[in-house]
Structure 1
Amino acid sequence: MRLPEREEIFRNHGEQHPLWRVVLLAAGFLLGSLVLGIPALLLFPPPDDDPTAILNLESPTFIASAWAMLTAAVAVVYLLTRRLDRQEWQATGLWLHPGWVREALSGVLLGALMIAAVFVVLTTSDIAGTTPGTHPARALILGVVVLLPMALTEELLFRGYLLRNLAQAWDGRVALILSAVVFALLHLSNPERDALALLNIGLMGVLMGYAYLQSGSLWFPLGLHFGWNFTQGTLLGMPISGLGIPGLVRTHLGLPHSISGGPFGPEASILGTVVMVLGFGYIMRRYGGPASLPRRGSPREERQRAR
């Protein structure tokens, strides 16, 4: 059997193959993050006695880096969508289409309810306890300023471009799983992560990706992503994937860590798995079952209309 030529692997019916676009996405985002991130670090350097401040969500260094990465993500996705994919920006799903506010708020509400359910179970079973937070106004502002660009960057990269292009090479199911795996692997460097944490982050990637494929809109997954993180960290004071942020209250997660998530947060817990499965059930009910996912080879315009 003849091995396919490189041009055959990275081209699809005379166009740039989606895998090649994904490679360019990664390279472009890394380059853009370096170009924009270095000035951000120079303007807001971490303290000499605490170089790990770059991982502190409330540090000026982290905030500047988060906005630099969002700028890089918008720039590279725009350039690739317009120049390489030859599509309008609307193909990403991030535009003010009719019903976008409803989609965004529905996602925020679902994310908030999912993590709030975990919080209720943990606190009523004495696995977790709370103490009052400090500076509530600062916590709320910080939650928006930090968590919104983080959610927007990841959704634009992983759903608005990566998943959309993988669905050109494989059908929706395969593309959905692949993008979720990549999304989970992105969090390998997070502190305190374990296998269950990566599994649950992958499940969250499936939830958000499924909603995106079915609706063609990025607003619901963006709202879900932000609503989960904001409620988890800012409102309830729990770690967000191993990273801490000031909250209105402080939640202390106890043993067993398999139930509470421990220092990583509820994404590393069995309860997190349960609410994600339930959330996926709701999303299928809202948007339709897997049979309606886009198939490989269907025109992009037809898939966009089907969403």
Structure 2
Amino acid sequence: MKKFLLVYGKMLITTLTILVLTSIVVNIPSENNLVTKVMFFLEKLLILVPVIVLYRLFEKNNWGLGMKQMNPLSNFSKGALLGLISITISLTISILSVKHMIVLHHINDQLILSLIYFLVVSFLVSLSEEVLFRGYIQGLASFYYNYKVGIVFSTIFFVAMHGLNNGITLFAFLELVLGGIFLGILRAKTNGLWFGIGFHFLWDFIQVGIFGLSLSEQKGISLLSVTFLEDNILLTGGVWGPEASVITTFVLALLLLSIIIRGFISEKNDKLNKLKAAQ
């Protein structure tokens, strides 16, 4: 019980500190678009501050946060490619399943600057969230218990903090649970964060930068503007966006199932190789 309170207490202190710091920034009034964007950057960077401070003070010599791993660029690229393919398939099916309107914006300096902004925002979001949930929270629980408990803890906190957003639905909740477990397994299997950061990065960027979806917090011009002309929440995700659609939930379920099966096959092959070596 003492160990649980220690682990949970550290997680709770970290997340509450983050919520306080970010809420201060969010509630700063501003009608200037540039200031709003800077505040959004600051909000995401503030997520990292309590994590890094508490990790360096109490955990640095015990376990790794996950930023230092073998072949980080390769892991990041593979994760980004998987995120790109997964969300593109999901969004394309969602769009084609309902009546819609698509506008292709002309490529000019304003659009290019906006896409760069979305790239930076998407990277900051993926970096800060993966460091917090899969780096600190999962790493902490994995050290004191095991990696499975770590995945459970990181997923619970991931769902809880995202659940504070408006418009959450059953499928939004399922998407968060499946996504949290999937990213948690990636963290455990790759022994680092960069694969998950890459996946999370392009998963977000494709939505906001290419398709122009889920733009409530991030103002700018996307390559496409997609408008759903019928209110089918199961297929469009409603206020939450296509991430909360039944299609995205199914895609994430397939990804999760595939990584579990691959892990099972890999463990089975390792056991067979050990038996052969023993003979």
TM-score calculated relative to the size of structure 2: 0.81
Q: How many residues align?
A: 262
Q: Residues 275-294 of structure 1: matches in 2 within 5 Å?
A: 275-284=251-260, 288-289=263-264
Distance apart, 1:205 and its partner CA: 1.1
- Per-residue deviation, 1:190: 2.0
Change (3 A) 1:110 1:34: same
Alignment partner, residue 68 of structure 1: 42
**Does the 8 Å contact 1:133/1:248 carry over to 2?**
yes
Q: Which residue matches 1:299? A: none
Of 254, 257, 267, the residue aligned with 2:233 is 257
Aligned counterpart, 2:119:
144
Partner SS, residue 163 of structure 2 = helix
Mapping for residues 169-188 of structure 1, pairs under 5 Å: 169-188=144-163
Match of 1:233 in 2: 208
The structure with higher relative contact order (CA 8 Å, sep 6+) is 2
- Report how far residue 155 of structure 1 moved: 1.0
Equivalent in the alignment of 1:132 = 104
* Residue of 15, 18, 28 corresponding to 2:7: 18
Query: How far apart are the structure 2 equivalents of 1:261 and 1:34?
Result: 26
Shift of 1:169: 4.2
Q: Which amino acid aligns with 2:30?
A: P
> Any idea what SS the aligned residue of 2:213 has?
coil
Question: Is the CA contact (8 Å cut-off) linking 1:100 and 1:219 kept in structure 2?
Answer: yes
- Tell whether the 8 Å contact from 1:139 to 1:248 is kept in structure 2 after alignment: no
- Name the CA shift for 1:145/1:208 in 2 (closer, same or farther; >3 Å): same
**Following TM superposition, by how much is the alpha carbon of 1:150 offset from its aligned partner in structure 2, in angstroms?**
1.6
Q: Distance in 1 between matches of 2:87 and 2:124?
A: 20
Compared CA separation, residues 133 and 193, structure 1 to 2 (3 A):
farther
Distance 1:270 1:290, change over 3 A: farther
Q: Please say if residues 233 and 239 of structure 1, whose CA atoms lie closer than 8 Å, have aligned partners that are also in contact.
A: yes
The alpha-carbon deviation at position 126 of structure 1 amounts to 4.1
Write the distance in 2 (CA, Å) between the matches of 1:160 and 1:113: 24
Q: Confirm or deny: 8 A CA contact 1:127 1:260 kept in the other structure.
A: no
277 and 34 in structure 1: CA distance in 2 versus 1, 3 angstrom threshold: closer
CA 1:201–1:62 in structure 2 vs 1: closer, same or farther (change >3 Å)? farther
Q: Which runs of 5+ in 2 are unaligned?
A: 268-279
Q: Name the SS of the counterpart of 2:133 in structure 1.
A: helix
Query: What residue in structure 1 maps to residue 271 of structure 2?
Result: none
CA gap 1:93/1:256 in 2 versus in 1, 3 angstroms = same
Q: Equivalents in 1 of 2:209, 2:158: separation in Å?
A: 23
Matched, 1:87 2:46: no
Q: Which amino acid in structure 2 is aligned with residue 161 of structure 1?
A: Y
RMSD: 2.9
Q: Is the 8 A contact 2:175 2:244 kept in 1?
A: yes
1:110 aligns with 2:82: yes
Contact 1:243-1:264 within 8 A present in 2 as well:
no
1:148 counterpart letter in structure 2: F
Shift of 1:149: 1.4
How far did residue 34 of structure 1 move?
Answer: 6.5
Distance 1:177 1:99, change over 3 A: same
Residue 274 of structure 2 corresponds to which residue in structure 1? none
TM-score for both structures, normalised by structure 1: 0.74
How far apart are 1:183 and its partner, in Å?
Answer: 0.9
> What residue ranges of structure 1 are gaps of 5+ in the alignment?
11-16, 48-52, 54-58, 293-307
2:175 paired residue number: 200
- The verdict on how the C-alpha distance between 1:121 and 1:30 changes in structure 2, with shifts beyond 3 A counting, is closer
CA distance in 2, matches of 1:290, 1:8: 34
SS of the residue corresponding to residue 91 of structure 1 reads coil
Following superposition, the deviation at residue 82 of structure 1 comes to 2.1
8 A contact 2:98–2:232 mirrored in 1: no
Q: Secondary structure at the match of 2:70?
A: coil
Q: In the alignment, what sits opposite 1:14?
A: none
Q: CA 1:192–1:98 in structure 2 vs 1: closer, same or farther (change >3 Å)?
A: same
Residue 180 of structure 1, CA deviation: 1.2
Checking the alignment, whether the CA contact within 8 Å between 1:128 and 1:260 is kept in structure 2 is no
Moved more, 119-128 or 219-228: 119-128
Query: CA separation of 1:120/1:67 partners in 2, compared to 1, >3 Å: closer, same or farther?
Result: closer
Structure 1 residue 229: Cα displacement: 0.6
SS in 1 for 2:64: helix
Tell me whether 1:212 sits opposite 2:187 in the alignment. yes
In the alignment, does 2:65 pair up with 1:78? no
2-structure distance, mates of 1:227, 1:80: 29
Post-superposition shift, 1:131?
1.3
